[in-house]
Structure 1
Amino acid sequence: MAKSVLHQADSRGKADHGWLKSFHTFSFASYHNPDRVHFGALRVLNDDRVDGGQGFGEHPHNNMEIISIPLSGELKHRDNMGNQGVIKPGEIQVMSAGTGIYHSEFNNLPHEAAEFLQIWVFPDKQNVKPRYDQAAINYKQQPNSFEQILSPNPEDDGVWIHQNAWFHIGILEKDNSTEYTLKDSANNGVYIFVLTGSVQVGDQILNKRDGYGLWEIERFTLEATADAEILLMEVPMELQ
Protein backbone atom coordinates (compact mmCIF):
# COMPACT_ATOMS: atom_id res chain seq x y z
CA MET A 1 0.00 0.00 0.00
CA ALA A 2 1.27 3.45 -0.91
CA LYS A 3 2.70 5.67 1.80
CA SER A 4 2.23 9.42 1.84
CA VAL A 5 3.08 12.64 3.65
CA LEU A 6 1.23 15.95 3.40
CA HIS A 7 2.87 19.35 3.89
CA GLN A 8 0.26 22.09 3.59
CA ALA A 9 1.40 25.51 2.42
CA ASP A 10 0.70 27.27 5.72
CA SER A 11 2.76 24.70 7.66
CA ARG A 12 6.03 25.65 5.96
CA GLY A 13 8.86 27.48 7.69
CA LYS A 14 9.00 31.21 7.02
CA ALA A 15 11.81 33.73 6.82
CA ASP A 16 11.45 37.48 6.24
CA HIS A 17 14.73 39.32 5.67
CA GLY A 18 13.07 42.40 4.19
CA TRP A 19 14.51 42.06 0.68
CA LEU A 20 13.99 38.27 0.81
CA LYS A 21 10.84 36.43 1.79
CA SER A 22 11.16 32.67 1.81
CA PHE A 23 9.03 29.65 2.62
CA HIS A 24 10.83 26.42 3.51
CA THR A 25 9.10 23.08 2.94
CA PHE A 26 12.04 21.35 4.65
CA SER A 27 14.39 22.42 7.43
CA PHE A 28 16.65 25.23 6.25
CA ALA A 29 18.77 27.91 7.93
CA SER A 30 16.97 29.02 11.12
CA TYR A 31 13.93 26.81 10.42
CA HIS A 32 14.42 23.34 11.86
CA ASN A 33 11.73 20.71 12.08
CA PRO A 34 13.05 17.22 12.87
CA ASP A 35 10.05 15.70 11.10
CA ARG A 36 10.74 17.68 7.93
CA VAL A 37 14.42 17.42 7.11
CA HIS A 38 14.08 15.84 3.67
CA PHE A 39 11.93 13.63 1.44
CA GLY A 40 14.32 10.92 0.35
CA ALA A 41 17.04 12.62 -1.72
CA LEU A 42 15.04 15.86 -1.88
CA ARG A 43 16.73 18.02 0.75
CA VAL A 44 15.54 21.62 0.15
CA LEU A 45 12.45 23.13 -1.44
CA ASN A 46 12.53 26.90 -0.94
CA ASP A 47 9.89 29.23 -2.35
CA ASP A 48 11.71 32.58 -2.57
CA ARG A 49 10.73 36.16 -3.37
CA VAL A 50 13.58 38.64 -3.89
CA ASP A 51 13.02 42.40 -4.12
CA GLY A 52 14.19 44.33 -7.17
CA GLY A 53 17.96 44.71 -7.40
CA GLN A 54 18.57 42.55 -4.33
CA GLY A 55 20.06 39.08 -4.03
CA PHE A 56 22.51 36.61 -2.59
CA GLY A 57 26.18 37.64 -2.62
CA GLU A 58 28.88 35.13 -3.45
CA HIS A 59 28.61 32.03 -1.26
CA PRO A 60 29.82 28.42 -1.41
CA HIS A 61 28.17 25.04 -1.94
CA ASN A 62 29.59 21.54 -2.15
CA ASN A 63 28.32 18.00 -2.78
CA MET A 64 24.78 19.03 -3.63
CA GLU A 65 22.71 19.23 -6.81
CA ILE A 66 21.11 22.70 -6.84
CA ILE A 67 18.18 23.47 -9.13
CA SER A 68 16.54 26.88 -9.67
CA ILE A 69 13.21 27.37 -11.43
CA PRO A 70 12.21 31.04 -11.95
CA LEU A 71 8.48 31.72 -11.61
CA SER A 72 8.51 35.47 -12.28
CA GLY A 73 11.10 38.16 -12.91
CA GLU A 74 14.74 37.51 -13.77
CA LEU A 75 17.71 36.10 -11.86
CA LYS A 76 21.29 37.05 -12.66
CA HIS A 77 23.82 34.28 -12.03
CA ARG A 78 27.60 34.47 -11.67
CA ASP A 79 30.00 31.77 -10.44
CA ASN A 80 33.71 31.09 -10.01
CA MET A 81 33.76 28.80 -13.07
CA GLY A 82 33.22 31.83 -15.28
CA ASN A 83 29.52 31.29 -15.93
CA GLN A 84 27.29 34.32 -15.93
CA GLY A 85 23.90 35.05 -17.36
CA VAL A 86 20.22 35.63 -16.68
CA ILE A 87 17.53 33.00 -16.17
CA LYS A 88 13.83 33.76 -16.64
CA PRO A 89 10.51 31.92 -16.38
CA GLY A 90 10.52 29.19 -18.99
CA GLU A 91 14.03 28.08 -18.01
CA ILE A 92 15.62 25.76 -15.45
CA GLN A 93 19.12 26.07 -14.01
CA VAL A 94 21.27 23.39 -12.39
CA MET A 95 24.57 23.42 -10.54
CA SER A 96 26.41 20.26 -9.52
CA ALA A 97 28.39 21.74 -6.65
CA GLY A 98 30.60 18.66 -6.23
CA THR A 99 34.05 19.52 -4.90
CA GLY A 100 32.96 23.13 -4.39
CA ILE A 101 31.50 26.12 -6.17
CA TYR A 102 31.04 29.80 -5.35
CA HIS A 103 28.16 31.70 -6.92
CA SER A 104 25.90 34.72 -6.54
CA GLU A 105 22.26 35.26 -7.51
CA PHE A 106 20.63 38.65 -7.86
CA ASN A 107 17.31 39.94 -9.09
CA ASN A 108 18.22 41.35 -12.49
CA LEU A 109 15.36 43.87 -12.48
CA PRO A 110 15.72 46.96 -10.26
CA HIS A 111 12.04 47.62 -9.56
CA GLU A 112 10.29 44.27 -9.87
CA ALA A 113 10.33 41.30 -7.50
CA ALA A 114 11.60 37.93 -8.68
CA GLU A 115 10.09 34.67 -7.51
CA PHE A 116 11.77 31.31 -7.89
CA LEU A 117 12.07 27.82 -6.45
CA GLN A 118 15.44 26.71 -5.14
CA ILE A 119 15.68 22.94 -4.82
CA TRP A 120 18.54 20.87 -3.43
CA VAL A 121 18.94 17.16 -4.13
CA PHE A 122 21.53 14.93 -2.49
CA PRO A 123 23.86 13.53 -5.21
CA ASP A 124 24.53 9.82 -5.69
CA LYS A 125 28.29 10.40 -5.75
CA GLN A 126 30.59 12.71 -3.82
CA ASN A 127 33.22 15.20 -4.98
CA VAL A 128 32.31 15.32 -8.67
CA LYS A 129 33.69 18.06 -10.88
CA PRO A 130 31.46 21.16 -10.48
CA ARG A 131 29.27 22.00 -13.45
CA TYR A 132 26.60 24.50 -14.50
CA ASP A 133 23.81 24.27 -17.05
CA GLN A 134 20.48 25.79 -17.95
CA ALA A 135 17.77 24.83 -20.41
CA ALA A 136 14.48 26.09 -21.80
CA ILE A 137 11.26 24.44 -20.64
CA ASN A 138 8.14 24.80 -22.75
CA TYR A 139 5.38 23.16 -20.71
CA LYS A 140 2.99 26.12 -20.93
CA GLN A 141 2.61 25.54 -24.67
CA GLN A 142 1.08 22.08 -24.11
CA PRO A 143 -1.51 22.10 -21.32
CA ASN A 144 -2.83 18.84 -19.86
CA SER A 145 0.52 17.11 -20.19
CA PHE A 146 3.80 17.05 -18.27
CA GLU A 147 7.22 17.97 -19.62
CA GLN A 148 10.33 16.24 -18.31
CA ILE A 149 12.73 18.97 -17.21
CA LEU A 150 15.37 17.00 -15.27
CA SER A 151 16.76 13.48 -15.34
CA PRO A 152 19.94 11.47 -14.65
CA ASN A 153 20.68 11.34 -18.39
CA PRO A 154 22.75 14.04 -20.16
CA GLU A 155 21.18 13.13 -23.50
CA ASP A 156 17.60 13.74 -22.30
CA ASP A 157 15.59 16.93 -22.63
CA GLY A 158 16.00 19.48 -19.86
CA VAL A 159 18.94 19.36 -17.45
CA TRP A 160 20.61 16.41 -15.73
CA ILE A 161 21.97 15.76 -12.25
CA HIS A 162 24.06 13.16 -10.44
CA GLN A 163 21.05 11.31 -9.03
CA ASN A 164 18.41 8.80 -10.11
CA ALA A 165 15.81 11.57 -10.23
CA TRP A 166 13.28 12.92 -12.69
CA PHE A 167 11.38 16.21 -12.54
CA HIS A 168 8.28 16.98 -14.58
CA ILE A 169 6.22 20.16 -14.74
CA GLY A 170 2.89 20.82 -16.36
CA ILE A 171 -0.43 22.63 -16.48
CA LEU A 172 -3.70 20.80 -15.93
CA GLU A 173 -6.89 22.58 -16.88
CA LYS A 174 -9.90 22.15 -14.61
CA ASP A 175 -11.50 18.67 -14.78
CA ASN A 176 -8.60 17.25 -16.77
CA SER A 177 -6.51 14.41 -15.38
CA THR A 178 -3.26 12.64 -16.13
CA GLU A 179 -1.46 9.57 -14.81
CA TYR A 180 2.15 9.57 -13.66
CA THR A 181 4.13 6.33 -13.71
CA LEU A 182 7.32 6.27 -11.67
CA LYS A 183 10.54 5.68 -13.56
CA ASP A 184 11.91 3.60 -10.67
CA SER A 185 9.01 2.55 -8.46
CA ALA A 186 11.15 0.04 -6.55
CA ASN A 187 13.37 2.75 -5.10
CA ASN A 188 11.80 6.15 -5.71
CA GLY A 189 8.99 8.31 -4.44
CA VAL A 190 7.41 11.44 -5.91
CA TYR A 191 6.98 14.79 -4.23
CA ILE A 192 4.07 16.76 -5.74
CA PHE A 193 4.25 20.55 -5.37
CA VAL A 194 1.27 22.62 -6.51
CA LEU A 195 2.44 25.96 -7.89
CA THR A 196 -1.05 27.31 -8.63
CA GLY A 197 -4.62 26.04 -8.53
CA SER A 198 -5.71 22.77 -6.97
CA VAL A 199 -5.52 19.08 -7.79
CA GLN A 200 -6.81 15.83 -6.36
CA VAL A 201 -4.59 12.77 -5.87
CA GLY A 202 -6.60 9.83 -4.62
CA ASP A 203 -8.69 11.23 -1.77
CA GLN A 204 -6.30 14.11 -1.12
CA ILE A 205 -7.05 17.65 -2.30
CA LEU A 206 -3.94 19.80 -2.79
CA ASN A 207 -4.07 23.58 -3.06
CA LYS A 208 -1.56 26.26 -4.03
CA ARG A 209 1.93 25.58 -2.58
CA ASP A 210 0.84 22.37 -0.85
CA GLY A 211 3.33 19.51 -1.03
CA TYR A 212 2.45 15.81 -1.05
CA GLY A 213 4.93 12.95 -1.05
CA LEU A 214 4.06 9.46 -2.27
CA TRP A 215 6.19 6.32 -2.19
CA GLU A 216 5.85 2.55 -2.43
CA ILE A 217 3.60 3.19 -5.42
CA GLU A 218 3.94 2.49 -9.15
CA ARG A 219 1.62 5.16 -10.55
CA PHE A 220 -1.02 7.68 -9.54
CA THR A 221 -3.55 10.01 -11.14
CA LEU A 222 -3.76 13.78 -10.76
CA GLU A 223 -7.07 15.49 -11.47
CA ALA A 224 -7.35 19.27 -11.63
CA THR A 225 -10.16 20.63 -9.46
CA ALA A 226 -9.19 24.10 -10.76
CA ASP A 227 -6.70 25.19 -13.41
CA ALA A 228 -3.39 24.10 -11.90
CA GLU A 229 0.37 24.23 -12.43
CA ILE A 230 2.23 21.31 -10.83
CA LEU A 231 5.84 20.27 -10.27
CA LEU A 232 6.58 16.54 -9.79
CA MET A 233 9.93 15.54 -8.28
CA GLU A 234 10.75 11.82 -8.39
CA VAL A 235 13.72 10.99 -6.17
CA PRO A 236 15.26 7.95 -4.43
CA MET A 237 13.84 7.38 -0.97
CA GLU A 238 17.05 5.89 0.46
CA LEU A 239 20.22 7.95 0.64
CA GLN A 240 23.43 6.33 -0.52
Structure 2
Amino acid sequence: MNTIRNTLSLSKMLPHAKITPHRSAARGHSDHGWLNTYHSFSFADWFDPSLTHFGSLRVLNEDRVKPNSGFPTHPHRDFEIFSYIISGELTHRDSMLRKGAEGGQSDKFYRMRRGDVQFTTGGTGIAHSEQNEHAKDTVHFLQIWALPWKRGLTPRYHTRHFEDDEKRKGFVPILSPLKGGPEATFEQENLAEPTIDGTIPIHADFVMGAGLIAPQGKFEWIVGSGVTESSKRKVYIHVPMAKKGKAKVRIDGREDILSEGDGAFVDGVHAGDKLTVESVGEVEAEVVVLDTA
Protein backbone atom coordinates (compact mmCIF):
# COMPACT_ATOMS: atom_id res chain seq x y z
CA MET A 1 0.00 0.00 0.00
CA ASN A 2 1.34 3.39 -0.99
CA THR A 3 0.77 5.22 2.30
CA ILE A 4 1.59 8.89 2.67
CA ARG A 5 3.30 8.85 6.06
CA ASN A 6 2.75 11.03 9.06
CA THR A 7 5.23 13.83 9.67
CA LEU A 8 6.38 15.08 13.04
CA SER A 9 6.87 18.64 11.89
CA LEU A 10 4.37 21.19 10.65
CA SER A 11 4.22 21.54 6.90
CA LYS A 12 5.24 24.87 5.47
CA MET A 13 2.29 27.23 5.30
CA LEU A 14 0.72 27.50 1.86
CA PRO A 15 0.05 31.26 1.55
CA HIS A 16 -1.19 30.78 -2.04
CA ALA A 17 -3.90 28.35 -0.89
CA LYS A 18 -7.42 29.66 -0.38
CA ILE A 19 -9.09 27.57 2.33
CA THR A 20 -12.83 28.09 2.82
CA PRO A 21 -14.74 26.12 5.47
CA HIS A 22 -18.03 24.52 4.42
CA ARG A 23 -19.92 24.17 7.68
CA SER A 24 -22.17 21.23 8.39
CA ALA A 25 -25.14 23.54 9.02
CA ALA A 26 -24.80 24.91 5.46
CA ARG A 27 -25.34 21.46 3.95
CA GLY A 28 -28.64 20.32 2.56
CA HIS A 29 -30.44 17.97 4.94
CA SER A 30 -33.36 15.58 4.61
CA ASP A 31 -34.72 13.09 7.12
CA HIS A 32 -37.00 10.57 5.43
CA GLY A 33 -37.28 8.33 8.47
CA TRP A 34 -35.45 5.40 6.91
CA LEU A 35 -32.76 7.76 5.50
CA ASN A 36 -31.09 10.69 7.27
CA THR A 37 -28.92 12.45 4.69
CA TYR A 38 -26.71 15.53 4.46
CA HIS A 39 -25.65 16.99 1.09
CA SER A 40 -22.39 18.93 0.78
CA PHE A 41 -23.32 19.72 -2.85
CA SER A 42 -26.64 20.28 -4.61
CA PHE A 43 -28.54 17.00 -4.73
CA ALA A 44 -32.13 15.79 -5.25
CA ASP A 45 -34.53 18.59 -4.28
CA TRP A 46 -31.87 20.66 -2.48
CA PHE A 47 -30.14 23.15 -4.76
CA ASP A 48 -27.56 25.84 -4.07
CA PRO A 49 -26.14 27.48 -7.24
CA SER A 50 -22.79 28.00 -5.49
CA LEU A 51 -22.53 24.29 -4.59
CA THR A 52 -22.96 22.37 -7.84
CA HIS A 53 -19.45 20.88 -8.03
CA PHE A 54 -15.81 21.43 -7.06
CA GLY A 55 -13.57 20.42 -9.92
CA SER A 56 -14.76 16.95 -10.89
CA LEU A 57 -16.27 16.36 -7.41
CA ARG A 58 -20.04 16.48 -7.92
CA VAL A 59 -21.74 14.80 -4.90
CA LEU A 60 -20.76 14.20 -1.30
CA ASN A 61 -23.65 12.84 0.76
CA GLU A 62 -23.30 11.67 4.34
CA ASP A 63 -26.02 9.06 4.78
CA ARG A 64 -27.47 7.01 7.60
CA VAL A 65 -29.87 4.23 6.57
CA LYS A 66 -31.95 2.37 9.14
CA PRO A 67 -32.11 -1.44 9.34
CA ASN A 68 -34.15 -3.34 6.75
CA SER A 69 -34.38 -0.35 4.42
CA GLY A 70 -32.35 1.32 1.71
CA PHE A 71 -32.19 2.33 -1.92
CA PRO A 72 -34.19 -0.01 -4.19
CA THR A 73 -32.93 -0.86 -7.67
CA HIS A 74 -32.12 2.37 -9.47
CA PRO A 75 -30.10 3.39 -12.54
CA HIS A 76 -26.89 5.39 -12.86
CA ARG A 77 -25.31 6.80 -15.99
CA ASP A 78 -22.11 8.73 -16.77
CA PHE A 79 -20.93 9.23 -13.18
CA GLU A 80 -18.15 7.66 -11.13
CA ILE A 81 -19.88 6.71 -7.85
CA PHE A 82 -18.33 5.34 -4.68
CA SER A 83 -19.48 4.41 -1.19
CA TYR A 84 -17.15 4.73 1.83
CA ILE A 85 -18.48 2.73 4.79
CA ILE A 86 -18.01 4.33 8.22
CA SER A 87 -20.07 1.92 10.37
CA GLY A 88 -22.72 -0.75 9.98
CA GLU A 89 -23.19 -2.73 6.77
CA LEU A 90 -24.57 -1.97 3.33
CA THR A 91 -25.50 -4.66 0.82
CA HIS A 92 -25.06 -4.07 -2.90
CA ARG A 93 -27.09 -6.16 -5.33
CA ASP A 94 -26.82 -6.01 -9.08
CA SER A 95 -30.20 -5.63 -10.76
CA MET A 96 -29.78 -8.97 -12.56
CA LEU A 97 -29.18 -11.01 -9.41
CA ARG A 98 -32.13 -12.58 -7.60
CA LYS A 99 -32.15 -12.30 -3.80
CA GLY A 100 -31.26 -15.66 -2.30
CA ALA A 101 -28.97 -16.57 -5.21
CA GLU A 102 -26.01 -14.44 -4.12
CA GLY A 103 -23.24 -16.96 -3.60
CA GLY A 104 -20.02 -15.37 -2.34
CA GLN A 105 -18.94 -11.74 -2.52
CA SER A 106 -18.80 -10.62 -6.15
CA ASP A 107 -19.50 -7.66 -8.42
CA LYS A 108 -23.17 -8.72 -8.44
CA PHE A 109 -23.44 -9.07 -4.66
CA TYR A 110 -21.34 -7.46 -1.97
CA ARG A 111 -22.01 -6.88 1.72
CA MET A 112 -19.89 -3.89 2.70
CA ARG A 113 -18.68 -3.11 6.21
CA ARG A 114 -16.30 -0.70 7.94
CA GLY A 115 -13.25 -0.09 5.72
CA ASP A 116 -14.90 -1.20 2.49
CA VAL A 117 -15.19 1.07 -0.52
CA GLN A 118 -17.31 0.14 -3.49
CA PHE A 119 -16.92 1.95 -6.78
CA THR A 120 -19.28 2.06 -9.76
CA THR A 121 -18.63 3.39 -13.25
CA GLY A 122 -22.13 4.28 -14.46
CA GLY A 123 -21.02 4.82 -18.05
CA THR A 124 -23.61 3.82 -20.62
CA GLY A 125 -25.97 2.68 -17.86
CA ILE A 126 -26.08 0.40 -14.85
CA ALA A 127 -28.71 -0.46 -12.23
CA HIS A 128 -28.25 -1.75 -8.69
CA SER A 129 -29.70 -1.59 -5.19
CA GLU A 130 -28.05 -0.65 -1.90
CA GLN A 131 -29.86 -1.91 1.17
CA ASN A 132 -29.16 -2.13 4.88
CA GLU A 133 -30.20 -5.74 5.44
CA HIS A 134 -28.97 -5.83 9.04
CA ALA A 135 -31.66 -6.61 11.61
CA LYS A 136 -30.88 -3.78 14.05
CA ASP A 137 -27.87 -1.60 13.15
CA THR A 138 -27.98 1.64 11.16
CA VAL A 139 -25.38 1.98 8.40
CA HIS A 140 -23.40 5.23 8.15
CA PHE A 141 -21.54 5.93 4.92
CA LEU A 142 -20.39 8.58 2.47
CA GLN A 143 -21.76 8.47 -1.07
CA ILE A 144 -19.51 10.40 -3.45
CA TRP A 145 -19.88 11.10 -7.17
CA ALA A 146 -17.27 12.41 -9.60
CA LEU A 147 -17.57 13.57 -13.20
CA PRO A 148 -15.66 11.22 -15.54
CA TRP A 149 -13.25 12.47 -18.17
CA LYS A 150 -15.54 11.15 -20.92
CA ARG A 151 -19.09 9.92 -21.35
CA GLY A 152 -20.21 6.51 -22.63
CA LEU A 153 -17.76 4.39 -20.64
CA THR A 154 -18.30 0.67 -20.11
CA PRO A 155 -20.10 0.11 -16.77
CA ARG A 156 -18.15 -1.80 -14.10
CA TYR A 157 -17.74 -2.28 -10.35
CA HIS A 158 -14.71 -2.43 -8.06
CA THR A 159 -14.61 -3.13 -4.31
CA ARG A 160 -11.61 -3.00 -1.95
CA HIS A 161 -11.03 -3.04 1.79
CA PHE A 162 -8.78 -0.48 3.50
CA GLU A 163 -7.55 -1.24 7.02
CA ASP A 164 -7.93 1.24 9.86
CA ASP A 165 -4.43 0.36 11.09
CA GLU A 166 -2.98 1.76 7.86
CA LYS A 167 -5.15 4.87 8.11
CA ARG A 168 -3.64 5.54 11.54
CA LYS A 169 -0.14 5.74 10.02
CA GLY A 170 -0.99 8.40 7.45
CA PHE A 171 -3.40 9.22 4.66
CA VAL A 172 -4.10 6.03 2.70
CA PRO A 173 -4.84 6.50 -1.02
CA ILE A 174 -8.23 4.98 -1.87
CA LEU A 175 -8.79 6.00 -5.52
CA SER A 176 -6.38 7.06 -8.26
CA PRO A 177 -6.71 7.64 -12.02
CA LEU A 178 -6.89 4.67 -14.38
CA LYS A 179 -3.61 3.98 -16.16
CA GLY A 180 -3.93 5.11 -19.75
CA GLY A 181 -6.01 8.16 -18.88
CA PRO A 182 -8.84 9.44 -21.08
CA GLU A 183 -7.43 7.58 -24.09
CA ALA A 184 -7.09 4.23 -22.30
CA THR A 185 -7.18 1.25 -24.64
CA PHE A 186 -9.72 -1.57 -24.45
CA GLU A 187 -7.04 -3.72 -22.81
CA GLN A 188 -6.21 -1.05 -20.23
CA GLU A 189 -9.90 -0.68 -19.38
CA ASN A 190 -10.19 -4.43 -18.85
CA LEU A 191 -7.00 -4.59 -16.75
CA ALA A 192 -8.37 -1.71 -14.64
CA GLU A 193 -4.96 -0.81 -13.21
CA PRO A 194 -4.81 2.33 -11.04
CA THR A 195 -1.85 4.69 -11.13
CA ILE A 196 -1.28 4.04 -7.39
CA ASP A 197 -0.96 0.36 -6.51
CA GLY A 198 -3.60 -0.94 -4.12
CA THR A 199 -6.18 1.71 -4.97
CA ILE A 200 -9.39 1.63 -7.02
CA PRO A 201 -9.08 3.10 -10.54
CA ILE A 202 -11.26 6.08 -11.41
CA HIS A 203 -11.96 7.62 -14.81
CA ALA A 204 -10.99 11.15 -13.70
CA ASP A 205 -7.99 13.27 -12.72
CA PHE A 206 -8.90 12.56 -9.12
CA VAL A 207 -7.32 11.04 -6.01
CA MET A 208 -9.11 10.12 -2.79
CA GLY A 209 -7.44 9.42 0.55
CA ALA A 210 -8.55 8.72 4.11
CA GLY A 211 -6.87 8.88 7.50
CA LEU A 212 -7.51 8.42 11.21
CA ILE A 213 -5.57 11.11 13.07
CA ALA A 214 -4.94 10.79 16.81
CA PRO A 215 -5.41 13.89 19.00
CA GLN A 216 -2.48 16.30 18.44
CA GLY A 217 -1.40 14.19 15.49
CA LYS A 218 -0.60 15.68 12.07
CA PHE A 219 -0.87 14.02 8.67
CA GLU A 220 0.43 15.41 5.42
CA TRP A 221 -1.36 15.12 2.09
CA ILE A 222 0.83 15.55 -1.00
CA VAL A 223 -1.44 17.37 -3.44
CA GLY A 224 -1.88 15.31 -6.61
CA SER A 225 -0.12 12.32 -4.99
CA GLY A 226 2.46 12.40 -7.79
CA VAL A 227 0.12 10.78 -10.32
CA THR A 228 -2.30 13.41 -11.58
CA GLU A 229 -2.28 15.14 -14.97
CA SER A 230 -3.15 18.74 -14.07
CA SER A 231 -0.75 20.66 -11.80
CA LYS A 232 -3.51 23.09 -10.76
CA ARG A 233 -5.52 21.30 -8.09
CA LYS A 234 -8.55 21.63 -5.85
CA VAL A 235 -8.79 19.64 -2.62
CA TYR A 236 -11.97 19.06 -0.63
CA ILE A 237 -11.54 17.83 2.95
CA HIS A 238 -14.44 16.28 4.87
CA VAL A 239 -14.73 15.28 8.53
CA PRO A 240 -17.48 12.64 8.91
CA MET A 241 -19.86 12.76 11.87
CA ALA A 242 -18.31 9.64 13.37
CA LYS A 243 -17.08 10.53 16.88
CA LYS A 244 -20.13 12.08 18.58
CA GLY A 245 -18.85 15.59 17.90
CA LYS A 246 -15.54 15.16 19.72
CA ALA A 247 -13.27 15.15 16.64
CA LYS A 248 -11.89 18.43 15.27
CA VAL A 249 -9.18 19.30 12.75
CA ARG A 250 -7.13 22.26 11.58
CA ILE A 251 -5.84 22.60 7.99
CA ASP A 252 -2.47 24.11 7.10
CA GLY A 253 -2.16 25.72 10.52
CA ARG A 254 -5.03 28.13 9.81
CA GLU A 255 -7.24 29.56 12.54
CA ASP A 256 -10.47 27.92 11.37
CA ILE A 257 -11.30 24.66 13.09
CA LEU A 258 -13.38 22.02 11.32
CA SER A 259 -15.85 20.07 13.43
CA GLU A 260 -17.60 16.84 12.51
CA GLY A 261 -19.79 17.28 9.46
CA ASP A 262 -17.72 20.24 8.27
CA GLY A 263 -15.71 20.32 5.10
CA ALA A 264 -13.24 22.73 3.52
CA PHE A 265 -12.61 23.91 -0.03
CA VAL A 266 -8.87 24.20 -0.67
CA ASP A 267 -8.28 26.12 -3.87
CA GLY A 268 -5.23 27.57 -5.61
CA VAL A 269 -2.93 24.67 -4.73
CA HIS A 270 -0.56 22.83 -7.04
CA ALA A 271 0.63 19.27 -7.45
CA GLY A 272 3.39 18.59 -4.93
CA ASP A 273 2.15 21.06 -2.30
CA LYS A 274 2.16 19.63 1.21
CA LEU A 275 -1.16 20.12 2.94
CA THR A 276 -1.13 19.46 6.68
CA VAL A 277 -4.21 18.25 8.57
CA GLU A 278 -3.93 18.36 12.37
CA SER A 279 -6.25 16.68 14.87
CA VAL A 280 -7.13 19.20 17.60
CA GLY A 281 -10.13 17.50 19.21
CA GLU A 282 -10.56 15.12 22.11
CA VAL A 283 -10.57 11.93 20.03
CA GLU A 284 -9.20 10.43 16.85
CA ALA A 285 -10.48 12.29 13.77
CA GLU A 286 -11.55 10.52 10.61
CA VAL A 287 -10.66 12.67 7.59
CA VAL A 288 -11.45 12.12 3.91
CA VAL A 289 -9.47 13.98 1.22
CA LEU A 290 -10.78 14.46 -2.33
CA ASP A 291 -8.12 15.85 -4.69
CA THR A 292 -9.30 16.93 -8.14
CA ALA A 293 -8.32 18.97 -11.19
Query: TM-score scaled by structure 2?
Result: 0.77
2:39 partner letter: H
Partner in structure 1 of residue 286 of structure 2:
229
2:268 partner letter: E
Change (3 A) 1:235 1:98: same
CA contact (8 A) 2:79 2:121 kept: yes
How far 1:3 sits from its partner (Å)?
2.2
Partner in structure 1 of residue 84 of structure 2:
69
CA distance in 2, matches of 1:26, 1:140: 30
Change (3 A) 1:209 1:39: same
Partner in structure 2 of residue 138 of structure 1:
163
- Residue range with higher mean Cα deviation, 175-184 or 143-152: 175-184
How far 1:132 sits from its partner (Å)?
0.4
Whether 1:172 and 2:209 are equivalent positions in the alignment is no
CA distance in 2, matches of 1:81, 1:182: 40
How far 1:110 sits from its partner (Å)?
2.1
CA distance in 1, matches of 2:68, 2:234: 38
User: Which structure 2 residues correspond to residues 111-122 of structure 1 after superposition, within 5 A?
Assistant: 111-122=136-147
Corresponding residue SS for 1:216:
strand
- Residue range with higher mean Cα deviation, 94-103 or 194-203: 194-203
Partner in structure 1 of residue 36 of structure 2:
21
Deviations 1:52-78 (A, max 9, x none): 000111111100000001111111111
Corresponding residue SS for 2:25:
helix
2:133 partner letter: N
Whether 1:87 and 2:102 are equivalent positions in the alignment is no
CA contact (8 A) 1:21 1:50 kept: yes
Q: Pick one of 195, 198, 221 that aligns with 1:157.
A: 198
Partner in structure 2 of residue 96 of structure 1:
121
CA distance in 1, matches of 2:174, 2:120: 14
CA contact (8 A) 1:186 1:216 kept: no
Partner in structure 1 of residue 3 of structure 2:
none
CA distance in 2, matches of 1:28, 1:107: 21
How far 1:81 sits from its partner (Å)?
6.2
How far 1:115 sits from its partner (Å)?
0.9
Whether 1:199 and 2:249 are equivalent positions in the alignment is yes
CA distance in 1, matches of 2:287, 2:96: 32
Question: Could you list the runs of 4 or more consecutive aligned residues of structure 1 that deviate by over 4 angstroms after TM superposition?
Answer: none
Larger Rg: 2
**Identity within the alignment, %:** 37
Partner in structure 2 of residue 188 of structure 1:
233
Deviations 1:32-59 (A, max 9, x none): 1111111111100001111100011111
The runs of 5 or more residues in structure 1 that have no matched partner are: none
CA distance in 2, matches of 1:94, 1:52: 22
The runs of 5 or more residues in structure 2 that have no matched partner are: 1-15, 98-107, 179-192
Corresponding residue SS for 1:140:
helix
- Residue range with higher mean Cα deviation, 166-175 or 210-219: 210-219
